[in-house]
Protein backbone atom coordinates (compact mmCIF):
# COMPACT_ATOMS: atom_id res chain seq x y z
CA UNK A 1 0.00 0.00 0.00
CA UNK A 2 1.18 3.44 -0.88
CA UNK A 3 -0.09 6.78 0.42
CA UNK A 4 -0.14 9.53 -2.21
CA UNK A 5 -1.40 13.05 -2.63
CA UNK A 6 -4.17 13.81 -5.11
CA UNK A 7 -1.88 15.90 -7.32
CA UNK A 8 0.55 12.97 -7.59
CA UNK A 9 -2.08 10.70 -9.15
CA UNK A 10 -1.99 10.23 -12.91
CA UNK A 11 -4.54 12.11 -14.99
CA UNK A 12 -6.54 8.88 -15.47
CA UNK A 13 -6.47 8.06 -11.75
CA UNK A 14 -7.71 11.58 -10.91
CA UNK A 15 -10.48 11.31 -13.51
CA UNK A 16 -11.62 7.97 -12.04
CA UNK A 17 -11.59 9.31 -8.49
CA UNK A 18 -13.46 12.45 -9.55
CA UNK A 19 -16.05 10.34 -11.39
CA UNK A 20 -16.52 8.16 -8.29
CA UNK A 21 -17.01 11.33 -6.24
CA UNK A 22 -19.50 12.71 -8.75
CA UNK A 23 -21.86 9.72 -8.42
CA UNK A 24 -21.91 9.86 -4.60
CA UNK A 25 -25.08 11.96 -4.69
CA UNK A 26 -26.85 9.18 -6.61
CA UNK A 27 -26.52 6.74 -3.69
CA UNK A 28 -29.77 5.16 -2.55
CA UNK A 29 -28.99 4.86 1.14
CA UNK A 30 -32.09 5.30 3.35
CA UNK A 31 -30.72 2.88 5.99
CA UNK A 32 -27.02 3.64 6.43
CA UNK A 33 -27.00 7.22 5.11
CA UNK A 34 -23.51 6.35 3.84
CA UNK A 35 -22.56 7.40 0.33
CA UNK A 36 -20.10 5.32 -1.70
CA UNK A 37 -18.94 5.91 -5.24
CA UNK A 38 -16.72 3.63 -7.30
CA UNK A 39 -15.31 4.03 -10.77
CA UNK A 40 -13.69 1.26 -12.78
CA UNK A 41 -10.90 2.02 -15.23
CA UNK A 42 -11.23 -0.31 -18.20
CA UNK A 43 -8.33 -1.74 -20.18
CA UNK A 44 -9.02 0.85 -22.91
CA UNK A 45 -9.35 3.68 -20.35
CA UNK A 46 -13.14 3.93 -20.26
CA UNK A 47 -14.54 5.00 -16.89
CA UNK A 48 -17.58 3.16 -15.53
CA UNK A 49 -19.03 4.41 -12.25
CA UNK A 50 -21.44 2.92 -9.75
CA UNK A 51 -22.88 3.82 -6.39
CA UNK A 52 -24.44 1.93 -3.52
CA UNK A 53 -28.10 0.89 -3.62
CA UNK A 54 -29.53 -0.26 -0.30
CA UNK A 55 -32.55 -2.44 0.36
CA UNK A 56 -34.86 -3.08 3.33
CA UNK A 57 -33.64 -6.69 3.13
CA UNK A 58 -30.09 -5.65 3.99
CA UNK A 59 -28.44 -8.62 2.29
CA UNK A 60 -29.96 -7.53 -1.01
CA UNK A 61 -28.08 -4.22 -1.05
CA UNK A 62 -25.60 -3.62 -3.85
CA UNK A 63 -22.31 -1.91 -3.03
CA UNK A 64 -20.87 0.77 -5.31
CA UNK A 65 -18.03 -1.47 -6.47
CA UNK A 66 -20.36 -4.27 -7.58
CA UNK A 67 -22.78 -1.74 -9.11
CA UNK A 68 -19.91 -0.49 -11.30
CA UNK A 69 -18.95 -4.06 -12.26
CA UNK A 70 -22.55 -4.94 -13.15
CA UNK A 71 -22.94 -1.75 -15.18
CA UNK A 72 -19.71 -2.49 -17.07
CA UNK A 73 -20.79 -6.08 -17.68
CA UNK A 74 -24.08 -4.85 -19.18
CA UNK A 75 -21.91 -2.77 -21.54
CA UNK A 76 -19.83 -5.89 -22.44
CA UNK A 77 -16.77 -4.43 -20.71
CA UNK A 78 -14.91 -7.01 -18.61
CA UNK A 79 -11.24 -6.06 -18.68
CA UNK A 80 -9.99 -3.50 -16.20
CA UNK A 81 -6.83 -1.86 -14.89
CA UNK A 82 -8.20 -0.44 -11.67
CA UNK A 83 -10.97 1.04 -9.56
CA UNK A 84 -11.27 4.23 -7.52
CA UNK A 85 -13.45 4.31 -4.39
CA UNK A 86 -14.56 7.27 -2.27
CA UNK A 87 -17.17 7.59 0.50
CA UNK A 88 -18.77 10.00 2.93
CA UNK A 89 -21.46 10.02 5.58
CA UNK A 90 -24.67 11.98 5.33
CA UNK A 91 -23.40 14.58 7.76
CA UNK A 92 -19.69 13.81 8.05
CA UNK A 93 -16.61 13.36 5.91
CA UNK A 94 -14.52 10.24 6.25
CA UNK A 95 -11.17 10.70 7.98
CA UNK A 96 -9.78 7.36 6.82
CA UNK A 97 -10.09 5.71 3.41
CA UNK A 98 -13.01 3.33 2.92
CA UNK A 99 -12.00 -0.05 1.52
CA UNK A 100 -14.28 -2.50 -0.27
CA UNK A 101 -16.23 -5.03 1.80
CA UNK A 102 -15.34 -8.72 1.61
CA UNK A 103 -17.93 -9.52 -1.06
CA UNK A 104 -16.68 -6.67 -3.24
CA UNK A 105 -13.08 -7.78 -2.76
CA UNK A 106 -14.07 -11.22 -4.02
CA UNK A 107 -15.84 -9.76 -7.08
CA UNK A 108 -12.90 -7.44 -7.79
CA UNK A 109 -10.56 -10.43 -7.55
CA UNK A 110 -12.70 -12.26 -10.11
CA UNK A 111 -12.53 -9.36 -12.56
CA UNK A 112 -8.79 -9.10 -11.98
CA UNK A 113 -8.56 -12.73 -13.08
CA UNK A 114 -10.66 -12.03 -16.18
CA UNK A 115 -8.47 -8.98 -16.86
CA UNK A 116 -5.24 -10.91 -16.37
CA UNK A 117 -3.76 -8.35 -13.99
CA UNK A 118 -3.58 -7.44 -10.33
CA UNK A 119 -6.28 -4.76 -10.24
CA UNK A 120 -5.11 -1.40 -8.86
CA UNK A 121 -7.38 -0.05 -6.09
CA UNK A 122 -7.39 3.68 -5.32
CA UNK A 123 -9.03 4.58 -1.99
CA UNK A 124 -9.72 8.15 -0.87
CA UNK A 125 -11.26 10.03 2.02
CA UNK A 126 -14.19 12.35 1.32
CA UNK A 127 -11.94 15.40 0.98
CA UNK A 128 -9.25 13.44 -0.91
CA UNK A 129 -6.74 14.49 1.74
CA UNK A 130 -5.76 10.84 2.29
CA UNK A 131 -5.35 8.56 -0.71
CA UNK A 132 -4.05 5.01 -0.68
CA UNK A 133 -3.11 3.01 -3.76
CA UNK A 134 -3.10 -0.74 -3.33
CA UNK A 135 -4.02 -3.84 -5.32
CA UNK A 136 -6.75 -6.42 -5.01
CA UNK A 137 -4.19 -9.12 -4.18
CA UNK A 138 -2.97 -6.98 -1.31
CA UNK A 139 -6.55 -6.48 -0.08
CA UNK A 140 -7.47 -10.16 -0.54
CA UNK A 141 -4.39 -12.33 0.07
CA UNK A 142 -4.66 -16.04 -0.66
CA UNK A 143 -7.77 -15.32 -2.72
CA UNK A 144 -10.08 -18.02 -4.06
CA UNK A 145 -10.90 -17.74 -7.73
CA UNK A 146 -11.77 -19.50 -10.97
CA UNK A 147 -8.46 -21.34 -11.24
CA UNK A 148 -9.12 -22.97 -7.86
CA UNK A 149 -12.23 -24.51 -9.43
CA UNK A 150 -10.42 -25.52 -12.60
CA UNK A 151 -12.45 -23.00 -14.61
CA UNK A 152 -10.94 -21.43 -17.72
CA UNK A 153 -12.34 -17.91 -17.90
CA UNK A 154 -10.38 -17.07 -21.04
CA UNK A 155 -13.46 -17.00 -23.25
CA UNK A 156 -15.05 -14.30 -21.11
pLDDT attached to residue 155: 80
Cα separation, 48 vs 83, in Å, equals 9
Spans in the chain with pLDDT lower than 50: none
Instruction: List the domain boundaries for the chain.
Output: 2-149
Residues noted as catalytic: 65
pLDDT at 30: 98
* Contact between 1 and 99 (Cβ < 8 Å): no
What is the model's pLDDT at position 28?
Answer: 98
> What is the structure's pLDDT at 52?
98
Domain covering 2-149 in this structure, CATH number = 3.40.140.10
How many residues would you count in the chain?
156
pLDDT of residue 154: 82
Amino acid sequence: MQSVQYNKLTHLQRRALDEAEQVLENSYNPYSHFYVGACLISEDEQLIAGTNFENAAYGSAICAERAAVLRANAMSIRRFRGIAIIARGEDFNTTEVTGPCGSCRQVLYEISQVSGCDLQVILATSKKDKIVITTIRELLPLAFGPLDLGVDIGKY
